């Protein structure tokens, strides 16, 4: 059967009916280029009637080729909802990737700081986690000032570079004292 050209008005009305959304994958411009797809291909006797036309992106239309996929059209609002969900998931994935990057950068800074305090090139992962947990609980300024206090106190008591275990024990003691102070402020006795 010979293909009849679609008029601009008909093409636009199909795009508008389908919310300018590919009815197969749910994508919208400018990410993709929209085309009109024949549900029943012209090669199989399909016509240019509105009921036989749907919005498609070039990639989906080319992938479908001349196959008949069924006559149920995707609800345009459902396609729009699916597209919005995918967009939200992509945004969340990007935010998660950024948060992971920031977390790793923070961990690296803490490793470098702790290693500098004990004059070593490596430190124990659990000690870095202890410091990061204190930062999360009390804030950066407090936790880092306690690390300085712990390093200075341990260095003052030992002539060699501070021992990592002693430094972390002292740091945890400071954090524990502060935790008790906060609890006493919130729930005073008597």
DSSP 109-176: HHHHHHHHHHT-S---HHHHHHHHHHHHHH-HHHHHHHHHHHHHHHHHH-SSSPPHHHHHHHHHHHHH
Residue reference for tokens 């008029």: 7
| Pairwise CA distance, residues 69 & 41, whole Å | 10
Given a contact cutoff of 8 angstroms between Cβ atoms, the answer to whether 55 and 36 are in contact is yes
pLDDT by residue (tens digit) across 32-66?
999 999 888 888 888 889 999 999 999 988 877 66
Q: What is the structure's pLDDT at 181?
A: 92
Nearest to 106 by CA among 132, 127, 125: 132
Tell me 80's DSSP state: H
pLDDT by residue (tens digit) across 93-111?
899 999 999 988 988 988 8
Taking 50 as the pLDDT cut, the residues of the chain under it are 71
Q: How many helices (H) and strands (E) would you count in the chain?
A: 6, 2
Given a contact cutoff of 8 angstroms between Cβ atoms, the answer to whether 25 and 57 are in contact is yes
| Pairwise CA distance, residues 18 & 26, whole Å | 10
User: Is beta strand 53-57 parallel, antiparallel or unpaired with respect to 34-38?
Assistant: antiparallel
Tokens, residue 36? 């009109």
Q: What is the structure's pLDDT at 13?
A: 94
Q: Calculate helix-pair angle for 164-186, 140-157, nearest 10 degrees.
A: 130
Q: What is the structure's pLDDT at 64?
A: 74
| Pairwise CA distance, residues 100 & 64, whole Å | 39
**Residues forming beta bridges with residue 38, ordered by sequence position:** 53
Tokens, residue 165? 């275990």
């Amino acid at each position: 059967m010979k293909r009849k050209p679609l008029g601009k008005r008909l093409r636009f009305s199909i795009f508008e009916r389908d919310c300018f959304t590919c009815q197969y994958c749910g994508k919208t411009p400018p990410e993709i280029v929209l085309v009109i797809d024949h549900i029943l291909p012209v090669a199989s006797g399909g016509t240019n009637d509105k009921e036989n036309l749907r919005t498609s992106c070039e990639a989906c239309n080319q992938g479908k080729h001349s196959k008949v996929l069924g006559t149920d059209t995707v609800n345009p609002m459902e396609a729009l909802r699916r597209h919005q969900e995918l967009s939200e998931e992509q945004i969340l994935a990007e935010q998660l990737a950024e948060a992971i990057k920031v977390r790793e950068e923070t961990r690296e800074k803490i490793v470098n700081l702790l290693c500098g305090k004990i004059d070593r090139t490596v430190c124990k992962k659990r000690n870095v986690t202890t410091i990061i947990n204190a930062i999360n609980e009390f804030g950066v300024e407090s936790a880092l000032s306690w690390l300085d206090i712990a390093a200075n106190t341990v260095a003052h008591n030992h002539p060699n570079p501070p021992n990592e275990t002693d430094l972390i024990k002292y740091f945890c003691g400071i954090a524990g004292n502060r935790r008790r102070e906060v609890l006493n402020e919130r729930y005073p006795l008597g």
